[in-house]
Structure 1
Amino acid sequence: MAEDVLSQSEIDKLLSALSDGSVSAEEVKAEEEERKVKVYDFKRPDKFSKDQIRTLFMLHESFSRLLNTYLSASLRTMVNIEVLSVEQMTYQEFVQSMANPAVIGIIALPPLKGNIIIEVGPDIAFAYVDRVFGGEGKPSVKSRALTDIESAVMRRFIDTVINYFREAWSNVVEFRPNFETMETNPQFAQIVPPSDMVVLVTIHMKLGDVEGMMNICIPYLVLEPVMSKLTTSFWVAASVDRESSPDQVADLQRKIERTWVPFSVELGTVDITINEFLTLGFGDVLQLDTLAKDELVCYVGTNAKFRAYPGTAGKRMAVQISGIIEGDEDANER
């Protein structure tokens, strides 16, 4: 709109040109009418408004952050995931843009109708597989189809992706993702007619030094029942309500209670020289700084939390908690 506003000097030049006769009023009127014409392709009708596209962008930004956190921890490498674009196109255009072979997961989202596609770029797929198998996370030298073992690894990867996808969409609609099948040839991944409109979410992924793309194709047919909820105001309001929901707090508490943590008991310590350490052998005895009747220190993770007495329970060694170690966690860390 700002480009359509003329400055005072431009107005003066236009009035001067009209008065000189170098520019006629008819020419100005014709140019104004020409600017009002908007090209519209009836073969590709727009199904999504700008506000809905903006909401989908924010929604998948949340999904990218969740997936980024998970992959950084599980792969133990630098991971960067961000949404590049959200655009609408025909399904045929999307199929033609995919590589062959590709890693294509077809996902059902009941109770929503239809399927969606999650396509992982070959470079990212092979780098992920290599990292999972203990490698440096390098892509394949040449383009090839996945082996059976590599396909099983990528199925687990896409399973993880759709779990975080469901969590990111939970503010808009609750669905139960179901991994239907995985294809490598785009021509076999026909989920809607070629002329149907879809929204394509393009996500840039970087695993270590390898960069690539992941595409999420969502047909209009799938989103049609929830189109009214794809607005910025609804999404923000739902996010605020969900943050303060008691159900979410209870769900988080249940997840924490089921989390496994390492628990260890320190029998004692002893200081020895490097020379003594190098000459240790089978049958040598080290005298610890604790007596048989002394309390032992119990660690949860790396923090000292309890005191306990050693003993047995049946045929197993055990400890009986005798007290709680209070104080700062950093001070109690070993």
Structure 2
Amino acid sequence: MTEELNPILQGQSGPNESIYFRALYYLHSQLAESLTEHTDEEGLPTAAWGVVSVDQSPFSALADRYQSNAIWGIIDFAEQPGGAFLFLSSEEAASFLDIPSKVLDDDAYAMIDVLLQRFCDYFKESWSDIQEFEPQLGTFPSAPSLGELQEIFMGLSPQTPLIVTTFRGSIPAKPATRVAIAIPLPYLIPLATSLEAAAEATYSNSGGENVNERLSHIGDTPTALVVSLGSTTMTVAELQNLEEEDVIVLDQLVSAPINIRIGKGAIVKGKPGTSLDGARLAVQITDLGDH
């Protein structure tokens, strides 16, 4: 497996990563459906589960995010090389289990083990057409050390890219609970051909899918908005001579609408202003276009 890991760890590009995003969306949507169908078993709260997002993140970013106040699950592929991470914040776990004090006791951790074991079991089931393995789950109330993790995730480093699927569990009148499954990208490379077939299934199976139901799973997903006031160019000499209180004139006319980028794609128009209390900058939408 070392030969598979080296290109990624050295920053070289592998197969088209969008294949992995689409494939994992398809596979893990099946996992979410199984969780929802059997949500009331073993004393767990009844919840509707769905996939919120599939994206990529270096291990260091996830380790920082879940360094404290989080439960870690490690899915060891056992006889097969590789594994996957499970992440759940302690606060959301307490809310999911309806623990007012937000303090997790032994009974709470036992129920969290049940929930993460269900993720592990349905992970195996949803991946059965891609790879046969007998995953073994271990749970930790705090982050293991990098050295401990490298015993399972051979070659893992802070820079190792992980493909992260975030699930949302919805219970009426309660905050949503998120669980993330993260798989090191190097372990997916040998499965690229099988995953490409799964990726194609996201299209062939989407014809009869209820779009509104899918959108309901991502309704509270944070999305970045970037407001662009304009741009200009300056010479290096001009930049070196800049002083405090100098004015830089942009190419944007005062009367022209400004661009507001939503996420990485759509652009709408607006005009600048301030919040009602005058304390913060604000922007008023003037044209949504086709979005």
Query: Structure 1-normalised TM-score?
Result: 0.49
Amino acid paired to 1:53 = F
**2:70–2:141 contact (8 Å) kept in structure 1:** yes
Identity, in percent, stands at 19
CA offset digits 1:259-313 (Å, max 9, x no partner): xxxxxxxxxxxxxxxxxxxxxxxxxxxxxxxxxxxxxxxxxxxxxxxxxxxxxxx
- Once the two structures are TM-superposed, the CA of residue 125 in structure 1 deviates from its matched residue by 2.1
The 5 A counterparts of 1:19-168 are 47=14, 48-72=16-40, 75=43, 78-98=46-66, 100-128=68-96, 130=97, 138-142=98-102, 144=103, 146-168=104-126
Does residue 210 in structure 1 map to residue 175 in structure 2?
A: yes
**Partner of residue 250, structure 1:** none
Which stretch shifts more, 61-70 or 148-157?
Answer: 148-157
Partners of 2:26 and 2:198 within 8 A in 1: no
Q: What residue number does 1:188 align with? A: 145
**Distance in 1 of aligned mates of 2:199 and 2:55:** 21
The aligned amino acid for 1:202 is T
Give the structure with the higher percent helix: 1
Counterpart in 1 of 2:163? Answer: 199
Query: Residue 201 of structure 1 contacts residue 216 of structure 1 at CA under 8 Å; is this kept in 2?
Result: yes
Residue deviations 1:3-24 (CA, integer Å, cap 9, x gap): xxxxxxxxxxxxxxxxxxxxxx
Alignment of 1:251-270 (within 5 A): none
State the secondary structure of the residue aligned to 2:87. Answer: strand
Q: State the alpha-carbon separation in 1 of the partners of residues 132 and 91 from structure 2.
A: 32
* In the alignment, structure 1 residue 178 sits paired with structure 2 residue 143: no
Question: Scaled by the length of structure 2, what TM-score is found?
Answer: 0.56
| Aligned mates of 1:100, 1:62 — CA distance in 2 | 30
Task: Identify if the C-alpha distance between structure 1 residues 140 and 99 changes in structure 2 by more than 3 Å, giving closer, same or farther.
Answer: farther
3-state SS in 2 of match to 1:172: coil
Partner of 2:84, secondary structure, is strand
Q: Relative to 1, partners in 2 of residues 1:76 and 1:197: Cα closer, same or farther, differing over 3 Å? A: closer
For the Cα contact (< 8 Å) 1:107–1:115, is it kept in 2?
A: yes
Shift of 1:212: 1.9
1:228 matched residue in structure 2: 193
Q: CA deviation at 1:61?
A: 0.5
Change (3 A) 1:89 1:74: same
Letter in 1 for 2:114: R
Which AA in structure 1 matches 2:39? Answer: L
**Higher gyration radius (CA):** 1
Counterpart Cα distance in 1 of 2:198 and 2:85: 27
**Aligned-residue CA RMSD (Å):** 3.0
Count residues in correspondence.
187
Name the structure, 1 or 2, with higher relative contact order (CA <8 Å, separation 6+). Answer: 2
Deviation at 1:187, TM superposition (A): 5.5
Question: Does the 8 Å CA contact 1:117/1:218 hold for their aligned counterparts?
Answer: yes
Instruction: Rate the CA distance shift 1:193–1:233 in 2: closer, same or farther, 3 A.
Output: closer
Distance in 1 of aligned mates of 2:145 and 2:38: 31
Structure 1: tracts of 5 or more residues without a match: 1-41, 131-137, 241-334
Question: 1:198: how far off?
Answer: 1.0
Unpaired segments ≥5 residues, structure 2: 1-8, 206-291
Q: Aligned in 2, Cα 1:148/1:215: closer, same or farther, shift over 3 Å?
A: same
Q: Is the 8 A contact 2:23 2:196 kept in 1?
A: yes
**Residue identity in the other structure for 2:164:** L
